[in-house]
Chains A and B, each alone.
Chain A
């Protein structure tokens, strides 16, 4: 599992947490905090997707549907029923997990990866169309507004507020979710779960012949992955406070997130984080280019697939292995 997690994954996560912790206190301008908040939300989204795409090896292309389900579920429950977003985000994760199970069942019967990709892509399009057409509830492409931000928290004399316009508080929520989700996934994947998922990815028939119950493990992976993506969608909804079906389940979201995973490193635990950081920041820097940003994303995917298929996260071990081999050769001589 060294290739997936590296040598000291908990230390890497701790360093990330330590880097994030002082950010809200640095008096950075709101725009920078906004970009960093989006990075954290998309990093969690990409990590959740990478669980099935890279670690389980199922070529799913429809996880933006779970992002949309999580976002709309949390937004609608909090808007229509007045439930606190602190509660609805967990409900949204659960609903996304159940949706994951729903699509997971038919996928179990499909052995061909291109067909898995097409079915999941079609599923995402169905989800987008459903949200677009339930206009009485979602207001369709006009946008679902009036989503409440997270309730303020009072700590002593200080009141921490959230949502757009309250950049430091929103960043803190995203950072806590980022660290919490990655820590939980590390604990889960460094044990039996990760071992089994990677075995299924590398040789499904061999794993099954060794007693691995494929259907149960695949459904479990799908549910966990969808729950993580749904949670990130819910946090996104209570941050941006307006949703449209195309913005959360459209092709731009699909391409952006896929690019983050591929550029960061498919199947590497920390890969999607690096990809999300690079592309969220680059995307903001290239905002003046409008839709041409997608061209850059496409080009980056092509470059990485050919030049560095293991992504940013795969670059270091690759060099290390070369160094090790060189050292062995030198020692042998």
Chain B
């Protein structure tokens, strides 16, 4: 059976009695940027974690490039070509920016000398070269988001999962950050899945979108179609209890 680049097939994730995702099936096309939208508690990050391997689905399957990766560890998924960033940034605070990037390169088997040199490429790409030798813990939120992009990039990903990439970032820094993300796709051909609250950001970034509410996919389509959908507007306006 021919499968899409990334597919979730009826994925359900339950934490005890709480069902965070219910029968979520979606597919991501290679080379496109796909947005996952939804209000707080919709299951966006859980879906992300299920794809990245941080959470094992209670039922259902996850396929990447046709292979079943449902039970693969996050490190195996990384070696297969899936990289991610985090909603709340997770820098290695005791390491410098360069060393943060070197961790991923070392995990790929690159020698320390080569890793030190190669790290510069990714640090330059995200515009952190002035901070390369600074400890990661002193970076601002926006700089941490860029550091996570550089780290993810150093794994040579085919699929990049970006969790609330503008969350906590000061408004003036957002356009620069979005520019880096666009260049990831245009210059490096990386397929991107992005979770984001800010509709304005998504309209300029994503091709397709999935709208989640209470753990289920409610609307799918192009990002413009999803943004204009009546159900999406109602839920975002806080009228979630009204049937779509």
Contact = CB atoms under 8 A, between A and B. Distances in A.
B103 A199 contact: yes
B94 A192 contact: no
Given A3-B135, A196-B106, A212 B94 contact: no
A286 interface: no
Contacts of B90: 202-203, 205-206
B69 to A, nearest CB: 14
B74 A208 contact: yes
Interface residues of B, number: 33
Interface in B31-62: 52-54
B155 A198 contact: no
Contacts of A2: 96, 135
Contact of A211 (B78, B93, B99, B148): B78
Interface in A1-48: 1-4
Contact of B95 (A195, A210, A212): A195
Interface in B66-120: 73-75, 78-79, 83-84, 86, 90-96, 99-100, 102-104, 106-108, 112
Main secondary structure of the interface of A (DSSP, over half): helix
A208 B73 contact: yes
A202 B92 CA distance: 5
Given A191-B112, A202-B93, A212 B84 contact: no
Given A3-B94, A208-B75, A210-B151, A195 B106 contact: yes
Contacts of B154: 210
Given A210-B78, A210-B103, A1 B84 contact: no
Contact of A206 (B79, B92, B99): B92
25 contacts: A1-B94, A1-B96, A1-B99, A195-B102, A196-B103, A196-B106, A198-B92, A198-B95, A202-B91, A203-B90, A203-B91, A203-B93, A206-B91, A206-B151, A208-B74, A208-B75, A208-B78, A209-B52, A209-B75, A209-B84, A210-B75, A210-B107, A210-B154, A211-B78, A211-B104
Interface of B: 52-54, 73-75, 78-79, 83-84, 86, 90-96, 99-100, 102-104, 106-108, 112, 135, 148, 151-152, 154-155
Given A198-B92, A208-B75, A211-B155, 14 more contacts: A1-B96, A192-B106, A199-B92, A199-B100, A202-B95, A203-B90, A206-B86, A207-B92, A209-B53, A209-B84, A210-B155, A212-B75, A212-B107, A213-B73
